[in-house]
Amino acid sequence: MTETEINEPATGSSIPKLPVAGAIVALAGLADATYLTIHHLTAEPVPCSIIAGCETVLTSPYAEIGGIPLAAFGAVAYFVAFSLALLTIFGNRMTWMLFGIQVILMSIFTTWLLYLQGYVIGAFCQFCLISAITTFTMLIIYIASRFVGRS
């Protein structure tokens, strides 16, 4: 994404498309993480229809940090990513770089969580995998923005 594209405010056809895509994907991640947080806090089982293993993952010792559901941390991270993308849409170029840093950190942590599911817990949660796909999609959007407009 060129500096001009990032700096322009959202008027007419000058809406920066990649930050908009980043904001939309972050909202999807926020919805997923909020859903998991609510289910965790209400102790309701999460219906897994695609793969078995959700309850194994979501009730493992790795599902909380200090008594706070890991999904709640994810919801906060997605909200921050959404906010940064939204600020970029309205013309703040610095926030797109911060979005990139946020997404890189989220991707590193997501990779760790995928490792835990696959090799330590031995089960996968479909909603956790959706979150991973969402995070890596935001990373791809950010990386793509670094190459748009370059010759």
| pTM for this prediction | 0.87
The class of domain 16-147 in CATH terms is mainly alpha
| pLDDT for residue 8 | 45
- With H, G, I as helix, E, B as strand and everything else as coil, classify residue 2: coil
Q: Show Cβ contacts of residue 3 under 8 Å, excluding neighbours closer than 6 positions.
A: 93
Residue 86 CA, chain-centre distance (Å), reads 14
* Res. 114: pLDDT tops 80: yes
Which amino acid, one-letter code, is at 114?
L
pLDDT tens digits, one per residue of 63-103: 999 999 999 999 999 999 999 999 999 988 899 999 999 99
Q: Show Cβ contacts of residue 121 under 8 Å, excluding neighbours closer than 6 positions.
A: 56, 57, 60, 62
**Residue for token pair 């010792």:** 61
| pLDDT for residue 14 | 62
The string of DSSP codes covering 59-91 is TSGGGEETTEEHHHHHHHHHHHHHHHHHHHHTT
